Amino acid sequence: MNGRIPHIVQYQGSKRLLASHILEYMPRRFNNLFEPFAGMAAITIAASKQNRAERYHINDINEPIVCLLRAAIDTPSDLVERYTNVWEGQFHHPMGHIKHFYHIRDSFNADEQTAENMLYLLARCVKGSVRYGKNGKFNQSPDKRRHGVNPQKIAENVHAISALLKGKVSFTSLDYKQILEIAEPGDIVYMDPPYQGVSSTKDNRYLAGVDYNAFSSSIETLDERGVDYIISYDGECGDREYGNELPVKLNCTKFLLNAGLSTQATLLGRRDTTFEALYVSKSLVEMANLIPKQTLLVGCAI
């Protein structure tokens, strides 16, 4: 796939487009890369393409997401075959492809949280956005304009990802704090928790929320143990800031990565640029001579 970073499916909030810039803050080679909030594991995939780590640890509290990633990496041909069967079913459903989506969603919410069903829901739902109701059930609607990602495209991507990562990954679906306890000096932890304002345990855009104080305390523990980390957290767009900064007492530096023009602002007739905050542990900043020359940033230290 040449220099392109493969990805399984569109996933709202993915750092795939910023991955090459985030990797500028990592050493050329290190022991283990941990992603406690993996999502579609964009940073793990990008790091493996550059052969940055010896091993990788993918974790997400959303177990079906982890199940999908495991299938894509360990058994890609089997996943493609099963996804193809689900995807083709929409063209044979007696009431049409929209009803087929809801049928798969109902099955998923009942007891069929398989990798292929998760993949199909992601491939068909609006904006690749995972949403859950108060009852914990997947409740995102289908994108009625399309039929989801063609199995051939899925096959191309999952086989490329499998070639990069098979035999090098550990998979878990645990609370992020349990993953941080595993990391040691010489490893790197990359964290992309839900943005503040959408991370309450009552918010249906995520399966579980992240408490600000508990998260800050966990990072402080990493500082004490000498474990390096990179965190995507708050940010700004135009004259609007979203999310509170992480505490100044943490042993890290804040940078702002240029994430491009805001789609929402463009729709409103404005040309506002979105900047996403990146917090980098002290030793990584020192190792990179403070500011990597090739990184798109306009940030400063806290």
What is the residue extent of each domain of the chain?
A: 70-155
Cβ(129)–Cβ(205) below 8 Å: yes
DSSP string, 152-193: HHHHHHHHHHHHHHTTSEEEE---HHHHHHH--BTBEEEE-P
Cβ neighbours of residue 43 closer than 8 Å, sequence gap 6 or more: 15, 19, 22, 23, 33, 35, 190, 192
Q: In what helix (H) or strand (E) does residue 62 lie, and over which residues does it extend? A: none
d(CA 108, CA 117): 7
Instruction: Give the distance between the most distant pair of CA atoms in the chain.
Output: 62
Query: Which is more confident, 289 or 57?
Result: 57
Q: In what helix (H) or strand (E) does residue 277 lie, and over which residues does it extend? A: strand 273-281
d(CA 210, CA 198): 9
Question: How high is the pLDDT of residue 297?
Answer: 40
Q: What is the pLDDT of residues 163-215, one digit of tens each?
A: 999 999 999 999 999 999 999 999 999 999 985 544 444 444 445 578 999 99
Q: What is the pLDDT of residues 23-60, one digit of tens each?
A: 999 999 999 999 999 999 999 999 999 999 999 999 99
Work out the angle between the directed axes of helices 151-165 and 63-74 (0-180°, nearest 10): 80
Cβ(12)–Cβ(126) below 8 Å: no
The identity of residue 110, as a single letter, is A
Of the candidates 230, 142, 164, the one whose C-alpha atom is nearest the C-alpha of residue 7 is: 164
Q: What is the pLDDT of residues 70-117, one digit of tens each?
A: 999 999 999 999 999 999 999 999 999 999 999 999 999 999 999 999
Would you call 302 helix, strand, or coil by DSSP? Answer: coil
d(CA 231, CA 192): 6
Q: What is the pLDDT of residues 212-263, one digit of tens each?
A: 999 999 999 999 999 999 999 877 665 666 778 899 999 999 998 887 655 5
Q: In the CATH scheme, what is the homologous superfamily, with its name and number, of domain 70-155?
A: Adenine-specific Methyltransferase, Domain 2 (1.10.1020.10)
d(CA 12, CA 205): 11
Q: Inform me whether the pLDDT recorded for 266 exceeds 60.
A: no
Pairing label, strands 273-281, 228-237: antiparallel
Query: Which is more confident, 1 or 53?
Result: 53
* pTM across the whole model: 0.87
